[in-house]
Amino acid sequence: MQQDKPLRIIHCFRSPVGGIFRHIRDLVIEHSKAGHQIGLLFDNNTGGEHEERLIRELMPYLALGIVRMPIQRSITPGDVAALIRSYKEIKSLKPDVLHGHGAKGGAIARLIGSVLRVNRYRVARLYTPHGGTLHYSGRSPVGWVAHSLDRFLERFTDSLVFVCDFERRTYEEKLGKPRVPWSMVYNGISEPEFVPVPAQSDSVDFLYVGMLRDLKGPDVFVEAFAATERAVGRPLLALIVGDGPDREKYQEQILEAGLGNRVGMLPPMPAREAFRTSRILVVPSRAEAMPYIVLEALAAGKTLIATRVGGIPEVLGTESQALAQPNDAADLARIMTAALADPDWHRKNMPESDAFRLKFSSVTMARQIIDLYRSLIG
């Protein structure tokens, strides 16, 4: 039957880091195990040793291989060369589906898919923003250009895919109601990740895991940690795990606050390895779409404190006492203090495990996405 035919799927994106890459890796593994043939196209100048290891681990699932080339974050004349090369590479792989992730990946998938359509080649063209350009204000020149381009590219799109309702609402607020079909499919995580990760004997009080850039709020975390120490009246310990463009700035902040011997910094590592270092994870972001670290932490049985941004309230519940106001270190410290003071705080404020597992499984995510692909091809 046509419905049972394996699909040839190519995911296009710019940077092999963070939540976008995690989302794509989960889809690749689940769809490959179901018999589909998958390929990736992305930038060759981003990511470090951690990402290169993840790419190597993914290779057995990539029947269509990997295409890497320079893809800049901003719009540059080099984008033309990238599009030409992408077209040649993608055409030779004869995909049934081109799924673009993030602004640059979305542009590549939709423009190249449309050129293939002109040449009478049937291919489904999908776009998942993953936050991306939606973080920009439409009042800024960069935001206006980014939103205008995304809106223009709708005409070359078969379906938009949002990873949470917040992302859909933000798209409508900043770009307008979609003029093409759209679906909402929550990020999901794999079965092994639903095994609890206990904290080790020498664990710290609070943990931050993620990119070291202001959008993710490590500076807010450090400020809130200092305020929590003052509130509980004793020294505490914290750990920051990750890397990014603002790493040195946060190191200076820690030293200037006199926290150098109580707030440590480690390079990126697998999330579940980092979870062993603490019972409580703090996600102090100023903006998010649907961050994987939230799902990973809850699946691992961690106590989670986060800011009320993006799709996080869709996971914890809109009235959750674990949610702080974004960019508000005092409010974040208030919750961190409460979590330390109440031994029953985790049970009172974390989602029920069975319902959470049913909603945010990678198996569920992959099935919904493949059903969408087939509906577009059909």
**More confident site: 57 or 140:** 57
Q: Which among 215, 213, 217, 227 is positioned nearest to 257, based on CA atoms?
A: 227
Strand partners, 238: 206, 263
Is 178 in the same domain as 212?
A: no
Mean pLDDT of the chain: 94
Is 25 in the same domain as 92?
A: yes
Is 126 in the same domain as 250?
A: no
pLDDT confidence of residue 139: 86
Is 156 in the same domain as 206?
A: no
> Does the pLDDT at position 1 exceed 70?
no
**Residue range 249-274: average pLDDT?**
96
User: Residue 223 has which token pair?
Assistant: 């400020």
pLDDT confidence of residue 140: 87
Is 151 in the same domain as 60?
A: yes
Q: What is the pLDDT of residues 144-171, one digit of tens each?
A: 988 999 999 999 999 999 999 999 999 9
> Does the pLDDT at position 230 exceed 80?
yes
The whole-angstrom separation of Cα 339 and Cα 28 is 37
Q: Within 10 Å of residue 129's Cβ, how many Cβ atoms?
A: 26
Is 240 in the same domain as 177?
A: no
The whole-angstrom separation of Cα 306 and Cα 286 is 10
pLDDT confidence of residue 3: 64
Is 320 in the same domain as 308?
A: yes
Is 61 in the same domain as 154?
A: yes
Is 114 in the same domain as 247?
A: no
Is 63 in the same domain as 85?
A: yes
Is 111 in the same domain as 242?
A: no
Is 147 in the same domain as 224?
A: no
The whole-angstrom separation of Cα 360 and Cα 189 is 6
* CATH number of the domain encompassing residue 104: 3.40.50.2000
> Does the pLDDT at position 121 exceed 80?
yes
Give CA separation, 155 vs 48, 118, 160, 240, 314, in Å.
36, 14, 11, 43, 30
The whole-angstrom separation of Cα 98 and Cα 8 is 9
The whole-angstrom separation of Cα 282 and Cα 303 is 9
What total of structural domains would you count in the chain? Answer: 2
Instruction: Record the pTM.
Output: 0.84
Q: What is the pLDDT of residues 4-45, one digit of tens each?
A: 799 999 999 999 988 899 999 999 999 999 999 999 999 998
**More confident site: 135 or 173:** 173
The whole-angstrom separation of Cα 357 and Cα 347 is 16
Angle at 107 between CA 101 and CA 109, to 5 degrees: 70
- In terms of Cβ atoms closer than 10 Å to its own Cβ (0-12, 13-18, 19+), residue 377 is middle
- Residues listed for the chain: 378
> Does the pLDDT at position 74 exceed 90?
no
Domain that residue 137 falls in? 2-188+361-377
